[in-house]
Amino acid sequence: MKNLKKRLKQGETLHGCWLNTGSSLTAEIVGLAGFDWVLIDLEHGAGSERDVFNQLQALEHTATAAIVRVESSESQRIHRVLDMGAEGIMCPKITGPEGALKVVQGLHYPPDGKRGVAKMVRATGFGQYFDQYYRDAKDNMLGVAQIETVEVLDHLDEVAAVEGIDVLFVGPADLSMELGIFGQFDHPRFKEALKATVDAAGKAGKATGILFFNPDDYKIYHDLGIRFLACGSDATFVADGARNLAKKLNSFRP
């Protein structure tokens, strides 16, 4: 474990990005680049659970912690990737405290949750250090609830109060879409929802996170008190690099 949850509780600002190609090679490249964490995306990414296993192996020797976004809060989806060695779970489309609690139940062993127990899995060194893993799991596993529905905006305080939810993470694309102002991140309604999320998290002693698309916007979100910041993805890194180089080469064409 790479102490992601502990560092966040200590008030550190942590930088991350998305992994959505399903590639263990890009996972390793990004892991060596200097990010604090990465998000392996099973909701919209190209990879499957089998690819997650390989990506986690590729990230093991880097300093970057791995969180997995599961498709839903169904316990089986959460258990699978935790047994593979994920250090946290992000769950999309949380609408209220009931959904947040379901995430926590899948994230933690009894009595704090309902996670099933399996010793011979990658997360425990295939049984070699299960006792230590079991003992430390509650303090190490990061629970991230995505704030991206209209419904959840009426329950932010309740979601933030759920023990085991450590980060309220704003999904800007989905949230702005549901608010009827897609992509308008300067719109008063989006800014109001963002501030309400930060306030609710702060009152509960939790962190706020967001994915943003322009690194020049970093100060805007950091000044709001957001400390779990993500920008970019392996796919955009490759696409932008390829386009920029092709454009430069084309500019030299006789």
DSSP letter string, 180-241: T-TT-TTSHHHHHHHHHHHHHHHHTT-EEEEEES-GGGHHHHHHTT--EEEEEEHHHHHHHH
Here the tokens at position 4 are 């992601």
Distance of CA 168 to CAs 25, 30, 164, 193, 224, Å? 30, 24, 11, 12, 14
Query: Could you confirm whether 79 is annotated as catalytic?
Result: no
Give ∠ CA 5-175-95 in degrees, rounded to 5. 70
Between CA 27 and CA 195 the distance in angstroms is 32
What does R_g of the chain's alpha carbons equal in angstroms?
18
**Beta strands at 14-19 and 142-147: parallel, antiparallel or unpaired:** unpaired
Q: Which H/E stretch holds residue 246? A: helix 234-251
Q: Which of 44, 61, 79, 187 is catalytic?
A: 44
Which ranges of 128-187 does DSSP label H, i.e. alpha helix?
130-140, 156-160, 172-178
Active site positions, annotated: 44
